[in-house]
Structure 1
Amino acid sequence: MSKSDLPPAYEESAHHRHHQYGPQRQVGSYPYPAYGYPPQPGVYSGPVHPTNPSGPWVSGYPAAGMPSVIPTYLPSGMPSSNMRETEDFVAGGLWESMSVRHAFIRKVYLILAAQLLFTTSVVAVFTFVDPVRFFVIKYPAIYWASFAVYFVTYLVLVCCEKPRRRFPWNMVLLFVFTLAMSYMTGTIASYFDTKAVFLALGITAVVCVAVTVFCFQTKVDFTSCTGLLCVMGVVVLITGIIATVVLSIQYIPWLHMLYAALGAVVYTLFLVYHTQLLIGNRSQTLSPEEYVFAALSLYVDIAQIFIFLLQITGSSSD
């Protein structure tokens, strides 16, 4: 490409336009402001800086389609104009939730304390009142009938109970189940001596206190291990069936001790699981309206731990 084909310089082209078209008229104020919004398609096709400074398109106004005021409220309706007010609002909600959870925990443990007190009284009657104790030993049908009453009551409770029933109905179910569980526990305790019963009660109390303190302090989430706990429950059930059949034919001490120890460990893990469901702040929690279910779950776990420990202490004392 030759030198004559190059485009003219800027000064030459500007001088040529000045002679051909005359001086160019300025549009708007000079110099232009440093920043401005580009024209919006389909809204304004003129220059970015209008000739009328007093009009709506002066420099500093937003372009069409953009809000003139930034919203001062979040989509959730929480005020964000003042960060301190927002923090106070969130803290108030968290405090209200914590107060509801604490009231729920107090209610559950009050119900549980009443259940355990009643069961302990029934066990004391079957253990320390000799006529009642000897009557149960003399007529084993009373012992087996206690298991039938417990399982029937448990099935009725599972099939018919709803966590959000009204107050009188769920309290009646709670009392009936506590009565059936106490009856079964008392008949079992009547076959053991006083020393074994006291020892089992003491160990059960220590285990319950230790589990409760552990659940309130630990960060390990046992509520995410539902599948593992279900498998362990099935293992305890199958082991119990095998032990019942074998021990009815011939008594084997180590098999009886193995089954009792396995049941005590598994129900201790169940107690940890249900306690963390009660506390909250885990992957799975209980609603504050399910206080009957929470109390029954803890009560069954503690009663089963006592029954398995009673078999261990009774076998060791024998």
Structure 2
Amino acid sequence: MAWQGVPVYYQDPNQQYYGGQPGYLPNQGYPPQGGYPPPGGYPQGGYPQGGYPQGGYPPQGGYPQGGYPPQGGYPPQPGFAPMPQQGYGGTYNDPEQGMDDGDVKGFGFSEESIRKAFIRKVYSILMIQLLITFGVVCLFSYHMPTQLWVRQHSYLVWVALAVMIVTLIAMACCGEVRRKSPTNIIFLILFTMAESFLLGVTAATYRAQEVSIAIGITAAVCLGLTLFAFQTKWDFTVMGGVLFVALIVFMIFGIVAIFLPGKTMTLVYSSLGALLFSFYLIYDTQLIIGGKHKYSISPEEYIFAALNLYLDVINIFIYILSILGASRN
């Protein structure tokens, strides 16, 4: 029985009742207040009709502030690029929207830093090549026993020429050869040694003083042209086609000069050659710099870039040496 809707509790030796139904006693289980409701539904203070109360699971509309992040993703974390949504400021490098200032955010790299590292690598390789080459040239110019030994083994000139041609064609035409390490390093070393040997044999036909002067002039010219290429606003990378045509004309002129020998012809041909490869040095330098220029070399092509600069410097040296020799002769 119950008084005015208040449930009455009964106890039986074998069974417990709560409101006339099997349940728990107030002193031995869950109390009626806030516990299981009496028959007829949940009392006020339990789970309301129509949804969850405030403070429980979030109401219709999503998660509240402080729970899972709103639409747009997670908030920015240190070291990761923020997402380009309304909830949090900042942008990230969306491949469909392009790169923001060339940065690869979250990894500390940028196009500028990659390009600078590429330039340092190229010029480091170039300096090693030039040191080896001009060291061999000085050895052939100043050491008479070396000159005599080479004259006694003239076949080495043809061996070096074959190695130089094969390695040059392989690096120029085969992308895998010049990109895959250590194959590219091996081919570059072989080419440098063969070219140094041939250049040493050529320099041995000139006076040692002329060789020294040619080396000094070449160093000064190349340094000046490199500084000019770095700071000038003129874009020489668009002149690739013009320089190629000029090279073809120069080669034809060289064939004609073979049949018209003479001091004047040698001076003209050597002067044009030094001028042409000076422009090539500026052109190749700006391809390496990249940035504001229209065309640039990929940072993966550091061997090819060093090879281009090396050939430019060597050709300038050869033609300056020819000018000095023709002037003396």
Q: What interval of TM-score do these two structures reach, taking the shorter chain for normalisation?
A: 0.5 to 0.7
* Residue in 2 that maps onto 1:228: 242
Aligned pair count reads 241
Asked if 2 retains the 8 angstrom alpha-carbon contact of 1:163 and 1:290, the reply is no
* Residue in 2 that maps onto 1:129: 143
Structure 1 position 143, deviation (Å):
5.1
Structure 1 position 87, deviation (Å):
10
- CA displacement, residues 241-288 of structure 1 (integer Å, 9 cap, x when unaligned): 2222333xxxx1000111111111101111111000000021110111
* Residue in 2 that maps onto 1:177: 191
* Residue in 1 that maps onto 2:303: 292
Residue 225 of structure 1 aligns to a residue whose secondary structure is helix
Residue 90 of structure 2 corresponds to residue 85 of structure 1: yes
- CA displacement, residues 132-157 of structure 1 (integer Å, 9 cap, x when unaligned): 22444677665566545433432333
Instruction: Spell out the pairing of 1:93-242 with structure 2 (5 A cutoff).
Output: 93=103, 96-136=110-150, 146-162=160-176, 165-242=179-256
Give the partner amino acid of 1:153. T
Asked if 2 retains the 8 angstrom alpha-carbon contact of 1:150 and 1:184, the reply is no
Deviates more, 1:209-218 or 1:127-136: 127-136
Asked if 1 retains the 8 angstrom alpha-carbon contact of 2:287 and 2:297, the reply is yes
> CA 1:80 to 1:214, structure 2 compared with 1: closer, same or farther past 3 Å?
farther
Structure 1 position 294, deviation (Å):
0.3
Asked if 2 retains the 8 angstrom alpha-carbon contact of 1:278 and 1:285, the reply is yes
Asked if 1 retains the 8 angstrom alpha-carbon contact of 2:72 and 2:83, the reply is no
* Residue in 1 that maps onto 2:96: none
Asked if 2 retains the 8 angstrom alpha-carbon contact of 1:197 and 1:310, the reply is yes
Q: Name whichever structure is richer in helix by fraction.
A: 1
TM-score w.r.t. length of structure 1: 0.68
Consecutive unaligned residues of structure 2, counting only runs of 5 or more, are 1-70, 74-81, 94-98
Counterparts of 1:245 and 1:147 in 2: how far apart (Å)? 23
- CA displacement, residues 21-55 of structure 1 (integer Å, 9 cap, x when unaligned): xxxxxxxxxxxxxxxxxxxxxxxxxxxxxxxxxxx
Of 267, 286, 290 in structure 2, the residue corresponding to residue 276 of structure 1 is 286
C-alpha RMSD of matched pairs (Å):
2.9
Instruction: Spell out the pairing of 1:37-48 with structure 2 (5 A cutoff).
Output: none
> CA 1:80 to 1:272, structure 2 compared with 1: closer, same or farther past 3 Å?
farther
Counterparts of 1:122 and 1:204 in 2: how far apart (Å)? 16
> CA 1:132 to 1:164, structure 2 compared with 1: closer, same or farther past 3 Å?
closer
Identify the structure with bigger relative contact order (alpha carbons < 8 Å, sequence gap 6+): 1
Counterparts of 1:196 and 1:80 in 2: how far apart (Å)? 69
> CA 1:163 to 1:97, structure 2 compared with 1: closer, same or farther past 3 Å?
farther
* Residue in 2 that maps onto 1:310: 321
Consecutive unaligned residues of structure 1, counting only runs of 5 or more, are 1-70
* Residue in 1 that maps onto 2:32: none
% identical equivalent positions: 40
Residue 109 of structure 1 aligns to a residue whose secondary structure is helix
> CA 1:90 to 1:311, structure 2 compared with 1: closer, same or farther past 3 Å?
same
Structure 1 position 159, deviation (Å):
3.5
* Residue in 2 that maps onto 1:262: 272
Counterparts of 1:142 and 1:93 in 2: how far apart (Å)? 51
Counterparts of 1:80 and 1:216 in 2: how far apart (Å)? 40
TM-score w.r.t. length of structure 2: 0.66
Structure 1 position 79, deviation (Å):
2.5
Counterparts of 1:279 and 1:131 in 2: how far apart (Å)? 43
Counterparts of 2:91 and 2:287 in 1: how far apart (Å)? 30
